[in-house]
Structure 1
Amino acid sequence: MKTTITLIALFCFNICFCQDLILKGQITDEHKESIPFANIALYQTNDTINVVKGSASDLSGKYSLQNINPGNYILKVSYIGYKTESLPIHINKNIIQNIILKSDSQSLTEIVIEGKRNIRSIDKTSYTFTTTQIDKAKDGRDLIATLPNLHIDRTTNSLSTINGKSIMILINGIKATDDDLKLISADKIKNVEIYDVPPMRYINDAENVVNINTKPLDTGWSGNLYGTLGQMFSNASFALSYVKGDNKFTLNYGTHINMKRNIKDLETGHYNYQINNDNYTYDYFRESQTWGNQHNIGLTYSINKEKNYDFQIKIFTNTSNGKLDANKTIEFTQNKFQEERIGKLNDHTKSIVPTLDIYYSKTLPKNNSIAFNVVGSYFDNEQNTHSAESGSTGFDDMMYINNQKKTLIGEAIYNHKFTKSNLSFGYRTHLNYLTNKVTNSLSEKLQKENINTQKHYIYGEVSGELKSFMYRVSLGGNYDTQLDREGFHNFTFTPILMAGYNINESNSIRLTYHSSTQMPDMLQMSDACILIMNNFYQTGNHNLENSHLQSWGLSYDLYLKRLSLSANLFYDHTNNSLFDSYQYGENCILFQTGNAEKDIHRGGEFNLNYMPWDFLRIGGSIGVSQQIFQPSQEVSSFSYWSYPVSVYLSASYKSFSLDILQKFGGTFLSGLYKTGIEKVSYISLGYTYKKVNFGLQCFFPFIKDKYSNETIPESIVYHKTDYHIKRKDHALALSVSWNFGFGKKKSSVQKNMENYDSDNGLFKIK
């Protein structure tokens, strides 16, 4: 009996005093905005040095400390830019304790423990920053560029990926530019989300999406001035923003000038082809110059009623002028006939594009929201192309294009947030109408044609987590149509399926499948035609259809304090892939866009980012892939391997910085061509004095930008070229920028969709 009573007493003692209890809650700021990655530390009351339990809040600001013994504790919560909150707490049961952090504008808060700085979700990784990173960054863009696989490409002065994948920048869900990022001070960035599989509405727009979430931004006046003077190009931009109450006005202007240098790019090439029973060879040496300018100016008005609605209207205009002048010396052979010739090609384009963008979103009760976006653009284009060759069978050909393209994009989204998941439904329509007036060698009279394309897209998407498992299921359909002539009407099921598992805080794996479609550019389907060499016409193709990509992937991610890496295996299959094709015409060769029979791309990629010390960052990307291409049923498929490699180094000391990037050459399969990878190489030195930044760049300091292209054996035309982009060799550029801003704090419009038509309606001379 005594033994039984003792056991019962011990059992009750364990229940009452040795329970594994849970302390959880949410961290928010004074505006009730969640604070992700806040540092959570639990101490014994009599020992405030050794942490009993430590964690970091998730993307919703929520935290959970488990397996806690009953007792008295001190709970400390800290985050950069906020005052540390210390709270005595008695734990004898499971407790929910929410914490509100107050802004500290005078100093950065002390970090109690080194919390987790990234969270891996099914389609994105979210990051926050250390005090050291924020202190060293000149502005928001400079801070974002410290993240894995990102850097500031000095050749374009833009935020880019190391592995060369396309990128879309969002600020609080709104499509933004590098100038917008430079207007934000580093300490105003709350966290950054990098999508390596973009949200479904962006799946056709970019391969990576970077969304920057900010703390309340400064009101009053803020602005940015930037200028670059270089041998290859010159840039200038100006942005000015003013906020009063809930209203915000922004004016921006930018220009990019490609300089016309006396140094010409060089191209050596060889053609070999047959028409009927005649054999032709065409050897040439070409010198070319490209130059021009682009200007853009925009005005934006927005009103933000926090937790109620957002409204934004944006009016902007883009103008561009581009010029290409090329001269060729040619050795032409037809059977046994040989002749030396002189060739000339001039292509001048002008374009003006006014655009109106209207956005509205409304927060509804019970975690619901709706958003609408309407974008209208008008493209007014003019293009003059002159192609000529001397000789007994030479030619002199002109093409004149004047077109007006009208675009209307409309989108509506409904969203509902659950505790650990998110549900959304959306519909987007993209309507294009082109009126094209063409004069070319096929007709001396001005020919008119109308091209009407539509793209309708409807989808539903749910994503979330179940403990360590992650998922995303997107079901959507595309209806792509070309309504004129004998156009196409294609419906394509385009789902996205993703499943992942967080092995621990540092390791995760994912399986992905996604599907999308791509429409041809409108002038790729037009009557445009120009004689580019003897018996060779570059033309449009009335029979083009949209392409359909299906992609499978397996990825592994590792995130440590100073090391991050990702390894990816992929398999891409594209139906009706769009490619530059050669076709037989009537006693001639037609160079036009076609739809391929088979296009498969499979392989792997490895990305590395390592910071051995706070002042040094090194890394790079290496890929190994096989491409299998079959242009048509009549010919066999062709297989080719490629090995793209990029390396970079970034270092800083006090006010000085150094950036080095080298993209190694190689080749990859692009349709009928084994295409050389255009190299990127530069050294950039920077110096910061107060809020003024100076930069000096040298492009291609050690190597020359040379590469080759060659057609595959299955092409009816053999073509090999050797390029030397000579104007880039040892080119120098000097840049200076100044950021300014002052005022009170104010949040910005939380726009969660962005639309713009990237098809400019011009015929791309190649």
Structure 2
Amino acid sequence: MKLKIFILSIALFGLNSLFSQENSISGKISNNAEALPYVNIYLKKTKIGVASDENGYYELKNIPKGNYTLIISSIGYKTKSVKISVLNNQKIIRNFSLSEDNSLDEIVISGTLKPVSKTNSPVPVEVYSKTFFKKNPTPSIFESLQNVNGVRPQLNCNVCNTGDIHINGLEGPYTFVLIDGMPIVSGLSTVYGLTGIPQALIERVEVVKGPASTLYGSEAVGGIINIITKKPSNSPKLTTDTFASSWGEINTDIGLRYKLSEKTQGLLGINYFNYQNRIDNNNDGFTDLTLQNRISLFNKINIERESNKVFTIAGRYVYEDRWGGEMDWEREFRGSDIKYGESIYTNRWETFGTYQLPTSENINFQFSANGHYQDSFYGTDAYDAEQLIAFGQFVYNKQIKEKHDLLVGIAYRYTFYDDNTFATIDKNGAINQPSKTHLPGVFLQDEISLNKRKKLLLGARWDYNSAHGNIFSPRINYKWNSRDNSNIFRASIGNGFRVANIFTEDHAALTGAREVEFNGELDPETSWNANLNYVKKINTENSFITLDASAFYTYFDNRILPDYETDSNKIIYANLNGHSVSQGISLNADILFTSGLAINAGATLMDVSVTENNIKTKQLLTESFSGVWSVSYKFNNDFTVDYTGNLYGPMRLPLLGENDTRAEYSPWYSVQNIQLIKKFTNSWEIYGGVKNLLNFTPAANSINSANNPFDVGVDTEANPELAFDPSYVYASNQGIRAFIGLRYTLF
């Protein structure tokens, strides 16, 4: 009898297994307007999961009978959770629609060097998706950042239009730029590193404001900008985006996903930008916009390994030929005093990647390397430079019980720099001596969960600079959130440091009539920063609102600033004999209405000052107020209107002396744009609009003595206000213009 019962049980078990093999859940994922590819669909607390295909379809197979929670999630969309019951021999068809998540509570890495949700991060990280940047299409991510609160692209020269990124009033060299978490933009390429990144490959941009030297080392004093590129496995087969403007600008972005083998996938990106139209609307005899010809190639490869270990490697190559100057300048005048022109040839290569070691512990080896070569003339002054940087680090992440999440790392950076200026000549002025800097370091971080609603982050870093010795950077962060995450409070205090290289960072040192002078040896800059951040989420029947407010304070010792005012014939670089302070408050508001209206607005009020010899002055080229906004509305899910803009308060500008006729302060100004997007299918969309609606441009006399760029017949020591000077610049001379573009996506 027992034998019969045993046989019958085996038979029933087998029959049940047979039926369960036919249980499935399938359907389509969309966002009401279009299918969503590569959405994650899985049954909670099981190993059953899949990603939707190119057309948004999914199917979960071989589901045992039972009650489950089905999770549907995708970056940029609100995660959906659905209870579902599965019976024997049942095929369930369920379609789901996801709504956009403007709060962007997604996975971020910039604040802690490890993946963590934005809400749970003890470090405030601002996240901007590719959708955000499409609201105001630009040829480069450099220009796109003009719509981020507290971040301002600053032009450094009226002639060649090179620039850098200011965060909370701090100049470009204080901003650390990364691609996929790896330091790529070196000092020499600060002015070029953010151009030529194919925007078709950008998934999102993470911004951290305030010192991050504990994790990222030198240069991460003002903040970091981390450009996250798409994963090959989650990318469309082909994306193209081409637009042209009425000024004659042409920009093309191409992204292509390909397979080298079953376990090796790649992503190829190409960016091409061309502008060859000589325009002089302000009638100063100089080009209003630098002529450019740029191509960038980007390739990223992911290799699938056992146990889902990470192995990714990427590379980029950028070539750019740009020039600006007198309207009748020709290539044959390069380096001569016949006609004034600033001509720059740039060759740059980069490679970076991550390899997770085949161990039971979570250990990653991350590396990057880049070479930057510049051949340029600023009038008759040649500037030829070469910079090579190699970087590598091991990062070990270990969860200790439930309360401690430990991160330990060792890092090394080697920097080689050489140019044809006196910066690399020995004290006797006879032998060329390239700069070679070794920078080994170790860092430690412990994220402590005090309870479910409180976190404490402790971190410290030690570096040894071969030229300047030991540098220590500690930090502490605290986070509290309410039970429903509708209220989040963060506080932080940390130290930052930076070793400056004037010629690689400050374009003013290379152009104009001023003589460059160094006053003593330049010591590393140090700073202390405190930051308070409060996030409030409000959900109503018709809207989703996120308010994000911050107060910041940074105190600098040994700060290095260009001194234009002690001697109007010189730019003097020295460690500040005093201190500098950057302080202020900022507020961001994201409002999403169920009607299709979306509003993103922000404002920053700040005071950046320099105190030397007990005299306090406002920092040059720094606004006391800035505001940004983006208003979008969708009609019937296939027609969208985007209205974007910014507003800046007055900035103190560098004058050549008391008799300089130019204004000491810039005016209040605003650059506003409008765009219309028409989507025809899931693959095709056309867009167009008008940039700089108010047609704002700086004063026509921004370039001092534009009619005498070589200072012929002028004693600039006796009459400094008569010297040629293109460094008086705070905004582009490019006025109102129309644009039109076309996007195509093949899933």
What does 1:224-623 correspond to in 2, within 5 Å? 224-230=239-245, 231=247, 233-243=249-259, 244-264=261-281, 288-326=288-326, 345-362=340-357, 364-365=359-360, 368-386=361-379, 398-418=380-400, 419-438=402-421, 448-465=432-449, 466-482=451-467, 489-505=468-484, 506-521=486-501, 523=503, 532-533=512-513, 536-538=514-516, 543-561=521-539, 562-582=544-564, 589-596=569-576, 597-623=578-604
Q: CA deviation at 1:179?
A: 8.0
Matches of 2:233 and 2:525, distance apart in 1: 42
Aligned to 2:734: 728
Q: CA deviation at 1:250?
A: 2.8
Call closer, same or farther: CA 1:687–1:399 in 2, change over 3 Å.
Answer: same
Out of 145, 148, 152, the residue aligned to residue 162 of structure 1 is: 148
Partner SS, residue 300 of structure 1: strand
Matches of 2:317 and 2:487, distance apart in 1: 46
* Structure 1 position 86 matched with structure 2 position 84: yes
Per-residue displacement from partner, 1:156-187 (whole Å, max 9, x unpaired)?
56464530436978779999999888569xxx
Matches of 1:213 and 1:313, distance apart in 2: 12
The AA in structure 2 aligned to 1:227 is: T
Structure (1/2) with the larger strand percentage: 1
The AA in structure 1 aligned to 2:458 is: V
Identity within the alignment, %: 12
Is residue 531–residue 537 contact of structure 1 (8 Å, CA) maintained in 2? no
Q: CA deviation at 1:498?
A: 0.7
Matches of 1:722 and 1:214, distance apart in 2: 39
Call closer, same or farther: CA 1:182–1:696 in 2, change over 3 Å.
Answer: same
Aligned to 1:695: 687
* Structure 1 position 201 matched with structure 2 position 215: yes
Call closer, same or farther: CA 1:79–1:679 in 2, change over 3 Å.
Answer: same
Partner SS, residue 307 of structure 1: helix
Matches of 1:349 and 1:227, distance apart in 2: 25
Is residue 237–residue 253 contact of structure 1 (8 Å, CA) maintained in 2? yes
Matches of 2:149 and 2:386, distance apart in 1: 37
Q: CA deviation at 1:539?
A: 5.9
Call closer, same or farther: CA 1:194–1:313 in 2, change over 3 Å.
Answer: closer
Matches of 2:338 and 2:91, distance apart in 1: 68
Matches of 1:177 and 1:526, distance apart in 2: 17
The AA in structure 2 aligned to 1:473 is: L
Call closer, same or farther: CA 1:675–1:360 in 2, change over 3 Å.
Answer: farther
Q: CA deviation at 1:83?
A: 8.9
Is residue 266–residue 287 contact of structure 1 (8 Å, CA) maintained in 2? no
Q: CA deviation at 1:382?
A: 1.0
Call closer, same or farther: CA 1:659–1:527 in 2, change over 3 Å.
Answer: closer
Call closer, same or farther: CA 1:723–1:469 in 2, change over 3 Å.
Answer: closer
Per-residue displacement from partner, 1:471-523 (whole Å, max 9, x unpaired)?
211111233344xxxxxx14332112111211342012121112222232362
Partner SS, residue 520 of structure 1: coil
Is residue 455–residue 480 contact of structure 1 (8 Å, CA) maintained in 2? yes
Matches of 2:573 and 2:282, distance apart in 1: 26
Partner SS, residue 279 of structure 2: coil
Is residue 287–residue 327 contact of structure 1 (8 Å, CA) maintained in 2? yes
Call closer, same or farther: CA 1:110–1:571 in 2, change over 3 Å.
Answer: closer
TM superposition score normalised by structure 1: 0.64
What does 1:621-700 correspond to in 2, within 5 Å? 621-630=602-611, 632-633=612-613, 636-638=615-617, 642-654=624-636, 655-668=638-651, 679-690=670-681, 691-700=683-692
State how many pairs are aligned: 580
Per-residue displacement from partner, 1:286-338 (whole Å, max 9, x unpaired)?
7755222222123333312152533333343211222120589xxxxxxxxxx
Matches of 2:552 and 2:396, distance apart in 1: 32
Call closer, same or farther: CA 1:178–1:653 in 2, change over 3 Å.
Answer: farther
Aligned to 1:107: 95
Is residue 508–residue 727 contact of structure 2 (8 Å, CA) maintained in 1? no
Matches of 2:505 and 2:97, distance apart in 1: 59
The AA in structure 2 aligned to 1:320 is: E
Is residue 289–residue 734 contact of structure 2 (8 Å, CA) maintained in 1? no
TM superposition score normalised by structure 2: 0.65
Partner SS, residue 420 of structure 2: strand
Matches of 1:382 and 1:178, distance apart in 2: 18
Call closer, same or farther: CA 1:80–1:476 in 2, change over 3 Å.
Answer: closer
Call closer, same or farther: CA 1:311–1:527 in 2, change over 3 Å.
Answer: closer
Matches of 2:439 and 2:298, distance apart in 1: 27
Call closer, same or farther: CA 1:215–1:538 in 2, change over 3 Å.
Answer: closer
The AA in structure 2 aligned to 1:27 is: K
Aligned to 1:485: none
Partner SS, residue 217 of structure 1: helix
Q: CA deviation at 1:576?
A: 2.2
Q: CA deviation at 1:228?
A: 1.6
Aligned to 1:393: none
The AA in structure 2 aligned to 1:355 is: E
The AA in structure 1 aligned to 2:307 is: K
Matches of 1:399 and 1:193, distance apart in 2: 38
Call closer, same or farther: CA 1:429–1:668 in 2, change over 3 Å.
Answer: farther
Per-residue displacement from partner, 1:560-601 (whole Å, max 9, x unpaired)?
23111012111111222232213768xx83214443331101
Matches of 1:378 and 1:215, distance apart in 2: 25
Matches of 1:622 and 1:732, distance apart in 2: 27
The AA in structure 2 aligned to 1:369 is: N
Matches of 2:353 and 2:448, distance apart in 1: 30
Partner SS, residue 521 of structure 2: coil
Matches of 1:211 and 1:399, distance apart in 2: 34
Task: Please give the root-mean-square deviation of Cα atoms over the aligned residues, in Å.
Answer: 5.0
Query: Which structure has the larger Rg?
Result: 1
Is residue 314–residue 352 contact of structure 2 (8 Å, CA) maintained in 1? yes
Call closer, same or farther: CA 1:251–1:581 in 2, change over 3 Å.
Answer: same
Aligned to 2:696: 704
Matches of 2:652 and 2:439, distance apart in 1: 29
Call closer, same or farther: CA 1:218–1:495 in 2, change over 3 Å.
Answer: closer
Q: CA deviation at 1:352?
A: 1.0
